[in-house]
Chain A
Amino acid sequence: MGRTRGLLLAGILISAVFAVSTAWLASGEPDGLERVAEDHEFIDTAKVPGYEILPDYTIPGIENEVLSTALAGIAGVVIVAGLTYGFGQVLRRRATPGG
């Protein structure tokens, strides 16, 4: 169990460092689909989302862009890891009753 927990913590830590580093390292250029949509003039058919929680991988209200992206990245890593781990546990318990 110790090794398993170590794997989980190490993996999430590596991912969090990776997510934080995107605040400095990630390219701001349009990505593949966005480039195609701009070149072939259908980018304007995109609808603006009806609501915003953490738009553009930033936390609204935090002016510093690097800090904002870094914190949004950590939030995403922790939430998605927690959700997936939890869901996996539910599936596994269903598969092995009492285990």
Chain B
Amino acid sequence: MLPPGLHIPDGFLSTPISLAAWVIAIVVLALAVRFADRDLDERAVPLMGVMAAFIFAAQMMNFPVAGGTSGHMVGGALAAILLGPWAAIIVLTAVVALQALLFQDGGLVVMGANILNMGIITVLLATLIYRVCRPFALGNAAALGIAFVAAWITVEASAIATALQLAASGTSPLEVVFPAMVSVHALIGIGEGLITAAALGFVLATRPDLVPRPAAATR
């Protein structure tokens, strides 16, 4: 019996791939701990706690997509936009680690891969997209649109990373697992984009001071 909200369980990835993912995850996490204080003003620390709580809850909320399949939010893009990359990586790592340790969602040997795929790749990519799109994020609607696109892309990137790791582990051939993961997560990414935009819109409506203004930074 596997949990409904399935992260990579132990057994899906080979030992070398699991170890390689752990090494990358630990190095990036060390960088995050080193540099996070750049992002941390007085408001940021409570926001980190709230973000972790919200992403944990949102990851429990599996929404149906086509064909008897569900998906759940990852939250990397939302955290990256609101907290900056380093604090966001710490938040996502805390969520993924707690899910594995306490809720048996995601394996322990492969936890490095789950942290890498859901907590690091998503955050760094969303940060990059949001910064590149900075000149175009002139109003709230544009900012929400960019957040939607960034969220969708990060889910696909996370799915592609997982597919590559599964293939490299010899679990499933790349020509099978790659298109399968990409196509199902194209749908799940729409859910991620909608929730990300809705959550960002909620924060913009209630506490706009908490949202870093990409447009303002360029003026």
Which range holds the interface residue count of chain A? 35 or more
Kindly list chain A residues whose C-beta atoms are within 8 Å of the C-beta of B12.
Answer: 37, 42, 45-46
Interface residues of B (CB under 8 A from A): 1-12, 33, 36-37, 40, 42-54, 56-58, 60-65, 67-72, 87, 90-91, 94-95, 98-99, 101-105, 107-108, 159, 162, 166, 171-172, 176-177, 180-181, 184-185, 188, 207, 210
Which of A5, A22, A42, A84 lies in contact with B52, CB distance below 8 A? A84
| CB-contacts of A55-99 with B (<8 A) | 55-57, 72-73, 76-85, 87-89, 91-92, 94-96
Counting from the closest, the 6 A-B pairs by CB-CB distance are A11-B50, A95-B37, A85-B49, A15-B53, A19-B57, A88-B45
Q: Is the CB–CB distance between B71 and A32 below 8 Å?
A: yes
Q: Is the CB–CB distance between A30 and B60 below 8 Å?
A: no
Closest to B45 in A: A88
Kindly list chain B residues whose C-beta atoms are within 8 Å of the C-beta of A4.
Answer: 42-43, 46
Interface string of A14-40 (1 = CB under 8 A from B): 111011011001111111111111011
Q: List 6 A-B contacts (CB under 8 A).
A: A4-B42, A18-B58, A49-B10, A53-B103, A76-B102, A84-B53
Closest to A93 in B: B37
Q: Is the CB–CB distance between A32 and B185 below 8 Å?
A: yes
Q: Is the CB–CB distance between B70 and A29 below 8 Å?
A: yes
Q: Is the CB–CB distance between A56 and B185 below 8 Å?
A: no
Kindly list chain A residues whose C-beta atoms are within 8 Å of the C-beta of B65.
Answer: 32
Kindly list chain A residues whose C-beta atoms are within 8 Å of the C-beta of B181.
Answer: 32-33, 36
17 new A-B contacts, CB < 8 A, other than A36-B184, A53-B102, are A11-B47, A12-B53, A19-B56, A28-B70, A29-B64, A29-B69, A42-B166, A46-B2, A47-B11, A57-B3, A76-B57, A76-B102, A76-B103, A77-B53, A81-B53, A84-B91, A94-B37
> Given A8-B49, A88-B44, A94-B37, is A80 in contact with B56 using a C-beta cutoff of 8 Å?
yes
Residue picked from A33, A39, A81, most chain B C-beta under 10 Å: A33
Q: Is the CB–CB distance between B3 and A7 below 8 Å?
A: no
Q: How far is the CA of A36 from the CA of B180 in the complex (A)?
A: 6
Residue picked from B8, B99, B180, most chain A C-beta under 10 Å: B180
Distance between B167 CB and nearest chain A CB, rounded to angstroms: 11
Distance between A36 CB and nearest chain B CB, rounded to angstroms: 4
Q: Is the CB–CB distance between B4 and A26 below 8 Å?
A: yes
Q: How far is the CA of A14 from the CA of B43 in the complex (A)?
A: 18
Q: Is the CB–CB distance between B90 and A95 below 8 Å?
A: no
Q: Is the CB–CB distance between A15 and B207 below 8 Å?
A: no
Q: How far is the CA of A87 from the CA of B56 in the complex (A)?
A: 17
Closest to B207 in A: A7
Closest to A43 in B: B2
Distance between B18 CB and nearest chain A CB, rounded to angstroms: 12
> Given A32-B71, A80-B95, is A88 in contact with B49 using a C-beta cutoff of 8 Å?
yes
Kindly list chain B residues whose C-beta atoms are within 8 Å of the C-beta of A72.
Answer: 103
Residue picked from B2, B7, B43, most chain A C-beta under 10 Å: B2
